[in-house]
Structure 1
């Protein structure tokens, strides 16, 4: 009993992580494969392709199996974040709150549910930082492996370059510069769109990744630490990604997935600064901090709720495709409706929908007489409806081309 009392923070974190992982699996089961994910699953030959295919091979072809590796990386990232912050906070309660906020960041949750590299990059970055904090030396083997995993690690190498230059670590300075050059040679760094400012778009995306007030506090924390505090390796990793994302946004639209994973690992720095700022004040002067913290947490969990339970938003929209998660809905439901009518091969003008339906056993055949469309048709043989709370959300029009 005494041992359990002493490790109350571990028990709480374990319990919350277990419950929330179950929630993520439930949400994953209701997320259809997107067109981009279908391309990755079937056509691309990269880490995401092999991870998702391996998972489906062992767990069966389902939405959960498709997303299971990324939920697993989420769980491992939370555990590593907890281990990395050992002895970082004065109180274990501060450490627990910091890790809980990290695990409930909207950007982290979103990354854990989608077939993309973000959650893998987050895990790898925390793994590297955990090794550095534990052994007080850099793991160059890990850094070399990272070169071949994803182009976004170029940001990590650049951050380490600046950190080494500031702290006069010659070996890290040379190796990080070489690895940055190698990463750029292999992958380049993708930007796209016409030359114009996307600074407001980038700002809005970061606000959605953190939640608005938490992002403002992140901005304040990074500035405060940069001006008055100790610029640790965590600060360099986060600030390098943050600044370069905004610098590039002045001219080009960026892939925020290349930068965000390095920004979110700074949560422990933010929380340590907050608790220090809180406790240097007398108890009677802490009321404003408590109110701002309560409002910040409220908005954070509202954002999390919207991400996880977003289907009711369809009830407020005139067009279903206006929903932010539209690309991850309905393919599974459409496939089930078709299969109930013994339709297993189809053709359509919507090539993206056809690619998604392949995952659920509906095959594409240009010679098929079964034509489907989610765009309204004047003449059709049958209309399938997808309803939510007795409200029609989407129609699928079926035409038998034999007629």
Structure 2
């Protein structure tokens, strides 16, 4: 009991530390992207409702914009910790599992950005938790999921397949109806001429899980299948993986639709790895030590780049090649404009105008602002990171 309490304390300390990092990253380093601005101002979706409600309650700031998704991250982590309560023999194994889940690149990035990924992770874990705790399916939740996101068709299909294992007719009928309705409402998206993107898909999975962990993830799914120990989490993860692979033969996939259902199988991966490690003598553990060290190394690099990524600009010739370029510069630009008593501009780039609107720069005809140099401009504003000019705009007073 004392050992369990010790690891529980470690877990909450680590969670608190990561959440603090998320708050700092949100408040000081991220700007609203164009897609996020569209969701906030123009689209009618669950993301629009969540972000507008949060900003209404807590004021218009980046922290308020992203606070609901950080909260979803906290709830998801706690749910995963609850799900694994009786899953591992040793409390240390459970702690390793939850640590791995908490720092996955895909989970961390989902908690920082305005998208449905972290919502899907939370609701999927909620469903799994209810099933694991009570041995019953949370049927009241399923119809609600139909209107949250189109990707829940993956969960409905996984439940359909799972119903054959458990011989649950109610689940069979329920999941079938919801899957068909999901396809009817959202359709099956096809894009352009058929073209293979399988390697791209594997590359994205390697990025959101880390390369070594993704390979071991594939092995773990196969291992569970061979031993016929498939549980609900395995069905969800396997269905998501299989559908993403099949879709990749036709088109480039949106990884946000599949990743939330893949990460739920992390405890099974950890359990298989630690069991395989412990049944071997020390002299035969070299391969597993290499896997563990390499995974920790890649995850550490990913964590570092998640929270400290601006120095990467120093290594790039073009700033727009940075992987989070679309989430930078606009907050700093709005501050520079306000310092010059410019509270309204007319932009030739409508996406930039919409992003500036979030920071109080209205769309007026007092000033003309462009990212491209033009004849007769009055002033140039440069945004520098580490004394390197990375973003600039040119301004002309019109009135």
TM-score (norm 2): 0.97
Could you tell which deviates more after superposition, 269-278 or 40-49? 40-49
Gap regions ≥5 residues in structure 1: none
Which residue is equivalent to 2:255?
256
Q: Deviations over 1:139-185 (max 9, x none)?
A: 11111211111111110000111111233221111111011112222
**1:11 match:** 9
Task: Name the structure 1 match of 2:377.
Answer: 380
Query: Does the aligned pair in 2 maintain the 1:238–1:264 contact within 8 Å?
Result: yes
- Pick one of 387, 390, 401 that aligns with 2:387: 390
Match of 2:19 in 1: 21
Instruction: Report whether the alignment pairs 1:88 with 2:87.
Output: yes
Matching of residues 12-91 of structure 1 within 5 Å:
12-29=10-27, 30-91=29-90
1:377 Cα deviation from its structure 2 partner: 3.2
Distance of 2:61 and 2:377 partners within structure 1: 31
Match of 1:167 in 2: 166
Match in the other structure for 1:227: 226
Structure 2: stretches of 5+ with no match in the other structure: none
- CA–CA distance in 1 between the matches of 2:209 and 2:123? 20
1:130 aligned partner: 129
Q: Distance in 2 between matches of 1:191 and 1:20?
A: 38
Name the structure 2 match of 1:194.
Answer: 193
The 1-side partners of 2:199 and 2:184 are apart by: 30
Distance, in Å, in 1 between the alignment partners of 2:215 and 2:163 is 28
60-69 or 252-261, which moves further after superposition?
Answer: 252-261
Report SS of the residue matched to 2:141: helix
Alpha-carbon distance, 1:280 to partner: 1.0
Report the Cα distance in structure 1 between the residues aligned to 2:321 and 2:371, rounded to whole angstroms: 14
Contact 2:3 2:91 in 1 (8 A): no
Whether the aligned pair in 2 keeps the contact of 1:190 and 1:255 (CA below 8 Å) is no
Contact 1:190 1:254 in 2 (8 A): no
Give the Cα–Cα distance (whole angstroms) in 2 for the partners of residues 95 and 291 of structure 1.
Answer: 21
Q: Is 2:303 aligned against 1:304?
A: yes
C-alpha separation between the residues in 2 aligned to 1:284 and 1:256?
Answer: 39
Whole-Å Cα distance in 2 between the matches of residues 312 and 6 of structure 1?
40
Contact preservation (8 Å) 1:108, 1:119: yes
Answer yes or no: is 1:315 the counterpart of 2:345.
Answer: no
Answer with 324-333 or 195-204: which moved more: 195-204
Aligned residues: 398
**CA RMSD of the aligned region, Å?**
1.4
Deviations 1:13-60 (A, max 9, x none): 000000110000111112110111001001122211111111111111
User: Which runs of at least 4 in structure 1 moved beyond 6 Å after TM superposition?
Assistant: none
Instruction: Quote how far apart the aligned CAs of 1:229 are.
Output: 4.0
| Mapping 1:103-142, distance limit 5 Å | 103-142=102-141
Corresponding residue of 1:328: 327
Q: What are the superposed Cα offsets for residues 295-351 of structure 1, whole Å, 9 maximum, x if unpaired?
A: 211111101211221111111111111111111111111111111111111111111
Output the CA distance in 1 between the equivalents of 2:214 and 2:317. Answer: 31
The answer to whether the 8 A contact 1:151-1:189 is kept is no
1:345–1:370 CA contact under 8 A, matched in 2: yes
- 2:343 is matched with which residue? 344
Deviation at 1:6, TM superposition (A): 4.3
**Separation (CA, whole Å) in 2 of partners of 1:162 and 1:76:** 27
Distance 1:315 1:373 in 2: 24
Q: Secondary structure at the match of 2:369?
A: strand
